[in-house]
Amino acid sequence: MTAQPSVWQQRIAGEWHGRPSLFDHTGTWCGFEEIRRSSEFADGVTTYRMDGGLIGGGALAGRFRLGAPFSFGVIDSDANRVYTGPDFFGTGQPYGSFVDSHYYGPGWQVDLNTWNQVLPDEQTQVYSSVLYQGWSVVGCFNGVYTRDPALVDQLIDNETRCGPVPYILPTKEAGAYAGDCELWGADQKLRGTVRVTIGLEPIDLLRTRRLITWDGAGLDREFAVETRRDGNDLHFEGPGAYGNAIGFGRASFSSLHLTDVWKIKGREFSVDASPGMSAGRRLSVVYQLFEGARLDSVLHGLLEWAP
């Protein structure tokens, strides 16, 4: 029995409110999930609860609409968080204010890869769950949560308006998203701070040159890549990297291969994108960096836009 909750458990204490959107495997918006999430540490035992209901859902409604709230036990640790059922079974690994979880939900009948990132204000979470049938993507839930009671109504209204907005970065304005991010080793130890910059030079409405720069914590690197958008899909077409991505609303999930042994699995989330042509001023980023097939480190943080 653990006498004190882990650092991650303390970070996510309280009740979080959100209205994440549901997308099918093509990135098409299907509906909302009204959610209240909490995890309680008492007498050395952690219990996680999730209550809410699906609004809409289209063809996925029958699979993801349930008649009772979720509840499951957690073996709490900053090394491995083990989810012990009955409603979710699996594990999660925290890297500072980000946790990467892999588990199975018998009620939804899907395997999930959930990424939760607590933003620097400590009151906001950027959340996504990519849902799998075997190796095939079934869909994705994602959105923003708050645990500040004064902001719940405002956030729910904003998620209702902005949840379906697609991930489209500026197409007629050159500039850069930049910010200081934390670099965590695969051993879950902090390596240091990295200045991350994503420079954008639009070519036309569908193509943009990106210049990615990492500076600090021994991760000094710069590479350029031409990015082409095709609906919800992105294609990275060299010369410094090759790969693709799919957008589920404001979140873009990418697989990027550099021209040496390194590759990147990432999520970029346009936190405050809104309907119309606004791409948002803040980009929440998480990148898992692989040396070959081996996870080397996790880089995450919040970037701000400047023209």
Which band of pLDDT confidence, cut at 50, 70 and 90, is reported for residue 190? very high
For the entire predicted model, the pTM comes to 0.96
- pLDDT at residue 60 greater than cutoff 50: yes
Name the one residue in this structure whose structure tokens are 């390596």: 191
What gap in Å lies between CA 255 and CA 235, rounded to an integer?
10
Q: How far is CA 294 from CA 76, 191, 259, in A?
A: 25, 17, 16
Residue 126, both tokens: 């950027």
Short-list 116, 117, 158, 143, CA closest to 21: 143
- pLDDT at residue 123 greater than cutoff 80: yes
pLDDT at residue number 2: 55
Return all residues near 90 (Cβ < 8 A) that are at least 6 apart: 82, 83, 101, 102, 103, 104, 112
What gap in Å lies between CA 179 and CA 211, rounded to an integer?
14
Which band of pLDDT confidence, cut at 50, 70 and 90, is reported for residue 39? confident
Q: Per-residue pLDDT tens for 235-281?
A: 999 999 999 999 999 999 999 999 999 999 999 999 999 998 778 89
Looking at residue 219, the DSSP 8-state letter turns out to be: -
What percent of the chain clears pLDDT 90, i.e. is strictly above it?
83
pLDDT at residue number 121: 96
pLDDT at residue number 220: 95
Domain edges within the chain: 7-162, 175-306
pLDDT at residue number 1: 47
Architecture of the domain whose range is 7-162: Beta Barrel (2.40)
Distance of CA 14 to the CA centre of its chain: 20
Residue 277, both tokens: 């042509």
Per 3-state DSSP, the chain is made up of helix, strand and coil in percentages (nearest 5) of 10, 60, 30
What gap in Å lies between CA 199 and CA 277, rounded to an integer?
19
Peptide bond into 20 cis (omega under 30): no
Instruction: Tell me the average pLDDT across 111-116.
Output: 98
Mean pLDDT of the chain: 94
175-306 matches 7-162 in CATH topology: yes
What gap in Å lies between CA 261 and CA 258, rounded to an integer?
7
Q: How far is CA 162 from CA 11, 15, 29, 263, 272, in A?
A: 26, 22, 11, 31, 8
> What's the angle, vertex CA 188, arms to CA 211 and CA 124, rounded to 5?
70
- pLDDT at residue 228 greater than cutoff 70: yes
Q: Per-residue pLDDT tens for 65-91?
A: 887 888 888 988 899 999 999 999 999
What gap in Å lies between CA 75 and CA 92, rounded to an integer?
10
Which band of pLDDT confidence, cut at 50, 70 and 90, is reported for residue 4? confident
Q: Per-residue pLDDT tens for 133-175?
A: 999 999 999 999 999 999 999 999 999 999 999 999 999 999 9
What percent of the chain clears pLDDT 70, i.e. is strictly above it?
99
- pLDDT at residue 3 greater than cutoff 80: no
Architecture of the domain whose range is 175-306: Beta Barrel (2.40)
- Among 5-14, 194-203, 234-243, where is mean pLDDT lowest? 5-14
Short-list 179, 120, 194, CA closest to 306: 179
pLDDT at residue number 48: 85
